[in-house]
Structure 1
Amino acid sequence: MTDRATHVAVRPDYDPSADPLADPNWQEPEQPRYKLSWTRLILLLLVLGLAGAGGTFGVIHLRNTAGPTAKSWAVPYVDVTLTPTFPFQDPTANPANDVALGFVVADPKNPCRPSWGGAYTLDGAGSLLELDRRIAQLRQAGGDITLSLGGLNNSELAVACTDDTRLTSAYRQLVKRYDVRTLDLDIEGTAVADQASLQRRVAAVAAVQQEREDAGKPLAVWLTLPVSPSGLTDDGVAVVRGMLEGGVQLRGVNVMTMDFNNGEARPDMLALSTSALNGTHKQLSDLYLRLGRKLTSPQVWSRIGATPMIGQNDIDAERFTLDDAEGLARFAVDHGLGRVSMWSINRDAPCRGTFANVVVHSNTCSGVEQEALAFTKVFAGLPGKAAGGADYESVEIPDQATAVDDPKTSPYPVWRMTALYVGGYKVVWKGVVYEAKWANSGQDPAAAPPAGAQSAWSVIGPVSPVEKAPRPVPVVTDVSDPWTPGDVYRRGDRVLFGGLPYEAKWTTKDESPSTEFPIDADDPWKPLFTIPGEPKTN
């Protein structure tokens, strides 16, 4: 890399300060004006002609001596459908301000219907994963989401859905439902070269982006693409160009600095990553120049993101360590990199037991020596944030002095002091939904834990004013005898009470089945139904 500034003539009507792709935290430096002489024009045509004939070597690579002024934005990925569910909405469990939620893909049964990982419909994710509520809680705490579509597995919507109108409708549905401000298009595998799907995606995204712009709700769009140590692949560059030429206002290009597979026995992952980023910088500088946009070096850096796979990569020899993370964070600040992500926050933990000292390819641990959330904390220290983002401070909950929980409008059982809750049980307390981290009893979800201790409850989010009481689901259908006071019931006898089936755990008389959930251990009746909020058991 050189510090010398090389200038070329560009179309006179281009104004970098009005460029909608500029980083929201980046202050545009004053740009000098140049006259377009015949000599310079001929030189420029010759340079571009050489590049078109034989590659990019003939294109002048823009540089300037201005230091970076963009603030790098940290946005780690969360694998939404992975078990156990990661509580990204809880600031006590997640040090990151913003998160990228992945992955939205085509529903296997309906290629034009969006789903989460092919396993949950949008409504299913809302009820079974509490996704809508958790997103609302993250935003209430000052953070935000980036919605990530695609990924390596399953079929991305534009690949599976060949109906242009229905594809646009699917993107529109996603953006509207989650009030998306930033969209991440993760294009991998054969999708990178699938020309038909690329054209469909460009048209659909451009249409939805324009609709949001017209509505006063701008939609930022990132491309996430594979990368080699020398930069983007030829197909990757073509994807970026197609987006720009198709009218999509790209916020940036996020490159996956992972799985380089360069054959080295002990590869230097930081060096490979920075090499890939430098290569991408040159490619984007050249591409924007070809499209008539003169960008300074800091402007280009602000349009580049990096996503390492923390810890053990898919390639056995490749391990991205905490030292590598700290080095990448320094690189991001020094160069004004627009974004730093990581795959994934679910993996940001040490591997335990027999897996601690071997090569482990895990979705729930990193495979390297670390403290829990150590990688997230490194990148969370980056100074930037998303456009329009707020500072991430604390969870906002309703006024505890006035909040009253009504069982008729609470989507889960109201918390009880005497009940025993197992890990994963959800309750409502003082207008907020909580989930038990582990088995506990008598620990007020809304109360601050003692000094040095953690709360036994994770905050899921506020209760919506339109929600209703949980509807129990019977697991048997052959119970018809109502419970009757005065009758003696022995172990195994089944009755209906309040329209729901119960089974006697021991001999009992004049003890009606409980309607408070969870059922206490000393209650003589076992419910033969499930209610929302109970964790699933095998």
Structure 2
Amino acid sequence: MRRSRPVRALLAGMTTAAVSAGLVVIGGGAAHAAAAGPAGSAPMPAHVAAPYFETWTGESPASLAAQSGNKYLTMAFLQTASPGSCTAYWNGNTTQPVSESVFGSDIATIQKRGGNVIPSFGGGLADGNGTELADSCTSVDSIASVYESLVTTYGVTRIDLDIEGDSIKNTAGIDRRNKAVAQVERWARHTGRSVQFSYTLPSFATGLAPSGVALLQNAVSNGARVDVVNIMTFDYWDGATHDMAADTKTAAAGLHDQLAALYPSRRSARLWGMIGVTEMPGIDDYGPEETFTTADAVTVENWAVSKGINTLSFWALERDNGGCPGTAGAGSCSGVPQSAWYFSHAFEPFTSGSRTKADSIPALASPSSTSAERAARGRRM
């Protein structure tokens, strides 16, 4: 998420590979022993709101989930401490391994409330410095083992792979990653677990760049089932002023057509059910030309219900307050007038999948007087 350089430069020069037909399921492969830890967690809902939580802030994800009304969070990011390593840590910090002692209590609390978290690998920094797991590690078995450890340690049922920057051009890393995904999916079937994988990818306002399509083509060729393709509908970096809600719709429609080419046997409703969108509330890194408003949030949630997409998300939960009107790309506030947790409240009803457009939606309120407490926090990615 949070790209560290303009996306247009990152996506330049990509080529489109030939589209593969259908999803090939490959059997066999190396077996992995199931590690001790929670098992049998409920699968993710078919329609879920899961905003990103910045794991480096020192805050409690369970506490912020409760305050904001979110049952599900996407926790970012996991990466290696240095290129060449096959060990993943939260934030690449060697004091934060994948362990029950690190976020285990928070995740268990969220699960007891009927929700779950989605651990996310990669992000703008890791994807640019060689510490994204599959870029760093050349062993498919080791990559798969790390993914499995998230499932057995925390009882999660979805893993997110945020691939952008240099990672989306690293064909060797892409191939290793997709082979590891397929391997974990075989392991999950053999051990009776529910595990989904989502790819979070940069997007144009018309859909994926050729690099994103090529990544998914590689997944198809490796027999890796991709459950959700989550597009970052912000930071277009094209010099234009955007209607962010309208461009979310066109980006998702373009993705739908790209998925139809990749999976020609799937009906339209199933393709929409593979799509996720991630917004950046308020004024994004590019500037006021890309401002996702409180009204946009209502529009996008209504549209998501009507299309039956899989996931609504935003970057990030720590920004969901009105503490810095007019500020672009702040790490701890949205830059627009809003009540605390406005965007969470606008998106959270989507989780049940049962809300109709006639149901109530949150009203715009004045900025929270407590939001200034987050003003000193920054974002690393």
Q: TM tier, shorter chain?
A: 0.7 to 0.9
- CA deviation string 1:8-67 (max 9, x = no partner): xx99xxxxxxxxxxx987xxxxxxxxxxxxxxxxxxxxxxxxxxxxxxxxxxxxxxxxxx
Q: 1:98 aligns with which of 62, 65, 72?
A: 72
CA distance in 2, matches of 1:91, 1:186: 21
Contact kept, 8 Å, 2:197 with 2:226, in 1: the verdict is yes
Count how many residue pairs are aligned between Structure 1 and Structure 2. 310
Match of 1:322 in 2: 294
Which of 313, 336, 350 is equivalent to 1:341?
Answer: 313
Query: In structure 2, what is the Cα distance between the partners aligned to 1:109 and 1:223?
Result: 21
- Residue of structure 1 in register with 2:118 after alignment: 146
| Residue pairs, 1:97-136, within 5 angstroms | 97-108=71-82, 111-123=85-97, 127=101, 130-136=102-108
One-letter amino acid matched to 1:100:
T
Residue 383 and residue 305 in structure 1: after superposition, are their counterparts in 2 closer, same or farther (change >3 A)?
same
Distance 1:97 1:276, change over 3 A: same
CA distance in 2, matches of 1:195, 1:124: 27
State how far apart, in whole Å, the 1-side matches of 2:83 and 2:169 are.
Answer: 25
Deviation at 1:121, TM superposition (A): 4.0
Query: Aligned to 1:381, what secondary structure does the other structure show?
Result: helix
Higher helix residue share = 2
Please give the alpha-carbon distance, in whole angstroms, between the structure 2 residues aligned to 1:280 and 1:78: 25
Aligned to 2:53: 78
| Deviation (angstroms), 1:310 | 1.2
TM-score, structure 1 length as denominator?
A: 0.54
Q: Which runs of 5+ in 2 are unaligned?
A: 1-20, 23-42, 354-381
Structure 1 unpaired stretches of 5+? 1-9, 12-22, 26-70, 386-538
Provide the TM-score with structure 2 as the length reference.
0.76
2:160 is aligned to: 184
Letter in 2 for 1:144: N
**What do you get for the CA RMSD once the two structures are aligned?**
2.4
Cα displacement (A) at 1:243: 1.1
- 2:263 is paired with a residue whose SS is helix
Contact 1:90 1:138 in 2 (8 A): no
SS of equivalent residue, structure 1 residue 267: coil
Deviation at 1:146, TM superposition (A): 1.1
Report what 1:308 is aligned to: 279
How has the CA–CA distance of structure 1 residues 125 and 313 changed in structure 2, closer, same or farther, with 3 Å as cutoff? Answer: farther
- 1:362 positional shift: 1.5
Asked whether the equivalents of residues 187 and 223 of structure 1 are also in contact (C-alpha less than 8 Å), the reply is yes
Counterpart residue identity of residue 223, structure 1: Y
Q: Does 1:220 align with 2:196?
A: yes
Secondary structure, aligned partner of 2:201: strand
Could you tell me which residue of structure 2 aligns to residue 359 of structure 1? 327
Amino acid at match of 2:337: E
Structure 1 residues 118 and 160: CA distance shift in structure 2, 3 A: same
Contact 2:119 2:159 (C-alpha < 8 Å) held by counterparts: yes
Structure ranking higher on relative contact order (CA contacts 8 Å, 6+ apart):
2
> How many percent identity over aligned positions?
31
CA contact (8 A) 1:227 1:256 kept: yes
Mark the structure with the bigger radius of gyration: 1
Displacement, 1:179?
Answer: 2.1
Give deviations 1:225-248, integer Å, cap 9, x for gaps. Answer: 110011001110111111122111
Conserved 8 A contact 1:205-1:248: yes
Preserved contact between residue 89 and residue 97 of structure 2 (Cα < 8 Å): no
In structure 2, the residue matched to 1:331 is 303
Partner Cα distance (2:352, 2:170) in 1: 34
* Alpha-carbon separation, structure 2, partners of 1:197 and 1:287: 21
